[in-house]
Structure formats: C-alpha cells, structure tokens
Amino acid sequence: MSEKLKDVVGAEAKSVRMVALEIVTSGAYLYPFKGIFFFATHKDLWRPFISRAGRTLTLGLGVTSAMFFFTYMPQMAIMAFTSGPLAAISAALLVLSESSAITNVLSRSFLVEDALIDTFDGTLVARGQEPLVAQGREIKSRSGGRDAIARLGKIFTRPIARLHPRALLRSLLILPLNLIPVVGTALYIFVQGKRAGPIFHARYFQLKGWNAAQREEWVTNNRSAYTGLGMASFLLEMVPFASIVFSFTNTVGAALWAADLEKATK
C-alpha cells in the first residue's frame, strides 16, 4: 500500500512539474506585465478606465466593507490555528484578497464590460490590427489625428460577459482554499487562472468569428499558455484596491498577445 501511495504521489508531482514547465515555456504569463507598460505609455487607452473608475471604486468599497463586517472575525478564528499570533494580519489580507476577487467579478459583469471591450479593441488598433477589429465594429479613419480609442466606432458584435450565477458560486466555494497557508493560495490562483485565461480572449475569439467548437479546440491546444495568462492576471487582480486598474492592464496584455498571434499566422 505504501509503495502504491508513493507511486501516486510521484506521478502527481511529475504531472505538476510538467504543467509548470509548459506554463513557463509558453511565455503567455508575461503579457499581463507587458500590458502594464503598454497601458502606462499609451494615454489614449486611459479614457475607458477613467470613465468607469468612480463607480467601480464605490463598488469595491462596499464589497470590502461588507466582507470585513461579515467574514473577518470567523476567518481570523480559523487562521489562529494556522498563523498563530499573525492571525489578525493574515485574516485581514485574506479578506482584502477575497474582496478584490468578488469586486472584479461583479464589476466585469455589470460596470466595465463596454470599457474593457474598447480597451481590447483600442490596443489591437494601436498594434495595427484594424482589419481584425473591423470584423466586430466600425473603424474610423485616421483623419484629424485620431488616436486608437477615438477611431473606435459602433460595435456590431460583443462577447457575452454577463455574470453567470454558477461562475460566481464556484468562485465563492473555492475561496476557503486561501485558509491553507501558501499551498492553498497557490492552488486557488491555479484554479482561477485556468478558468479565467480563455475569458481574456473572449473578444478575440469573437472577432475571429470562431464557433464554440473552434474556440474549445484552440484553448485545448493552448491550455498551458492560457493557464499562465490567467494565473498572472488573476494574481495581479488580487492586489487590494488596485484590482480595477489591473483588470484594464490585463485586458491590454491579452490584446497584445492576440496581436502577436495574428502576426505569427501571416
């Protein structure tokens, strides 16, 4: 029995190492960080973010206040068994991370969907992918010195990004993983990253005109890359009070990857 257990553990460890290696070698996890630099150096991409910042900040403050009121003490009690005297600090950081995750899900579904689409499309236009963006919206001419965002016209098609109750429930159910120091948080980021990775390219898939089968085949063939993209993006969006900013820079990063994919196929 002990030998079989060792074999199972060894096989799982080998599988984890292979997945980690594939994620690293894909390089897709770098795009969220490239997105930060690109966003910072292209001020025209700031406009969609600024237009939604106030309402999202209000939502974030409301969620964070409610989470501290209802969940801080119970989680601190549990953390007392795992973090000892640091339980109060650990629980506070945990609540802040959970609040960021919930705020991000709600804001993406109800407040910033259009702004994120504009950011994604604007980044593609800035990278010379006007023909691709034209599959989903009107593109205005360059006359008058228009920047990438100003050239975006009426949207013809948009990805369905509304909140799905099952997705929110799933996110809430795996939140307790964060109660397990280090390992639990790493597993939480992996699970969320694997789920979120393809979502960042929902607009790209629609601009390509792919059906569900084509999207599934592409994601399956590039699963490690999307997991890496999702993990890096989700990790950034866990930063308390900065998740809204990183949701936009992550969108820019995803668009940069899409632009590179388009160039690679030509």
What percent of the chain shows pLDDT beyond 90? 43
Please say if the pLDDT value at position 138 is more than 90: yes
Angle, CA of 51, 108 and 213, to the nearest 5°: 130
Q: What is the mean pLDDT of the chain?
A: 84
Does position 233 have pLDDT exceeding 90, yes or no?
yes
Q: What percent of the chain has pLDDT over 70?
A: 86
What gap in Å lies between CA 57 and CA 51, rounded to an integer?
A: 12
Per-residue confidence (pLDDT) for residue 96, from 0 to 100: 82
CA nearest 205: which of 195, 217, 194, 193?
A: 217
pTM of the model: 0.86
Residue 253 gets which letter from DSSP? H
Element holding 65 (H helix, E strand): helix 46-83
Residues 166/168/173/177 CA torsion (nearest 10 deg): 140
- Pairwise pLDDT comparison (247 vs 177), residue with the higher score: 247
**Averaged pLDDT for residues 186-195:** 85
